[in-house]
């Protein structure tokens, strides 16, 4: 259903949420651009300024100069601004408080869902989380804010425990998605009865398989995204509005219906 009237569409989505027993929310870069975090593939995305080849796991691990460049970008805020959640993040957190959210499956690496108030155990991060750094030697996980102050002096900080290579804990090109997280996301997608996509073009796989799994299992599909996706024809409701505006109206109507 593609209608431009946001008020009407928000009402339809709120009715679907109220009736659903398992709601899964799937988020992409489009939800975080409203918090000032640039996407990767847009006209002003990061790949217009950076070489994607420098973000392969092979080049990162084998080339000290690439590691030096990436740590400098991190230290200067070029890869992850210390952004704040926006209205869409807070609306999704409110869904959890209302008891209407099974989980969030996200392609984002910015930790904004947790910052907005969602329980970490309900957020499945398919592409990792750049608020953390992982040692490729001993697998130790360290808050990014503890590592960044070392960049000016060391240029390429290594693990202080085992001397191993430290890597931002996002999934690089050529690197497998975290298997346990992926498996759980697949199972949650297949068990839900309402799957809501927010801010994703659904072109990055295997993450983009999630709404397919949901539809194959009989779930209804809602897509909130500026621009088309390959799954538009399968959606019960399509909303081409900004995520914050759309989700704010949806949550208002959900709360109103639950209170009446």
Task: Note if 241 is an active site residue.
Answer: no
Candidate list 89, 127, 234, 241, residue with the active-site label: 127
Other C-beta atoms closer than 10 Å to the C-beta of 29 total: 23
Q: Is 202 left (phi over 0), alpha (psi -120 to 50) or beta?
A: left
The owner of tokens 């969030």 is 104
> Can you tell me the distance from the alpha carbon of 166 to that of 19, in angstroms, rounded to the nearest whole number?
46
User: What is the 3-state secondary structure of the chain?
Assistant: CECCCHHHHHHHHHHHHHHCCCEEEEECHHHHHHHCCCCCCCCCCHHHCCCHHHHEHHHHHHCHHHHHHHHHHHHCCCCCCCCCCCHHHHHHHHHHHCCCCCEEEECCCCCHHHHHCCCHHHEEECCEEEEEEEECCCCCEEEHHHHHHHHHHHCCCECCCCCCEEEEEECCECCCCCHHHHHHHHHHHHHCCEEEEECCCCCCCCCCHHHHHHHHCCCEEEEECCCCCCCHHHCCEEECCCHHHHHHHHHHHHHHHHHC
Tokens of 186: 């697949």
Q: How far is CA 142 from the centre of its chain?
A: 20
The residues carrying an active-site annotation are: 127
């Amino acid at each position: 259903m593609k209608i431009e009237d946001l008020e009407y569409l928000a009402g339809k989505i709120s009715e679907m949420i109220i009736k659903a027993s398992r709601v899964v929310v799937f988020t992409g870069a489009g939800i975080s651009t409203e918090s000032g975090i640039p996407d990767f593939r847009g006209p002003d995305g990061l790949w217009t300024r950076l070489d994607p080849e420098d973000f392969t796991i092979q080049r990162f691990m084998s080339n000290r100069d690439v590691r030096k460049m990436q740590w400098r970008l991190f230290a200067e805020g070029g890869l992850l601004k210390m952004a704040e959640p926006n209205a869409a993040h807070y609306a999704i957190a409110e869904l959890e408080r209302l008891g209407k959210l099974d989980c969030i499956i996200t392609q984002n690496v910015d930790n904004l869902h947790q910052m907005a108030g969602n329980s970490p155990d309900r957020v499945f991060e398919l592409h990792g989380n750049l608020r953390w750094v992982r040692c490729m030697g001993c697998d130790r996980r360290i808050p990014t804010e503890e590592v960044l102050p070392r960049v000016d002096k060391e240029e390429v900080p290594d693990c202080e425990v085992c001397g191993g290579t430290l890597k931002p804990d996002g999934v690089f090109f050529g690197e497998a998605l975290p298997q346990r997280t992926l498996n759980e996301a697949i199972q949650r997608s297949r068990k839900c009865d309402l799957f809501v996509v927010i801010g994703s073009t659904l072109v990055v796989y295997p993450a983009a398989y999630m709404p397919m799994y949901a539809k194959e299992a009989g779930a209804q599909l809602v897509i909130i995204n500026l621009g088309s996706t390959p799954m538009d024809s399968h959606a019960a409701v399509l909303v081409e509005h900004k995520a914050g505006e759309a989700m704010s109206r949806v949550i208002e109507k959900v709360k109103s219906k639950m209170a009446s």
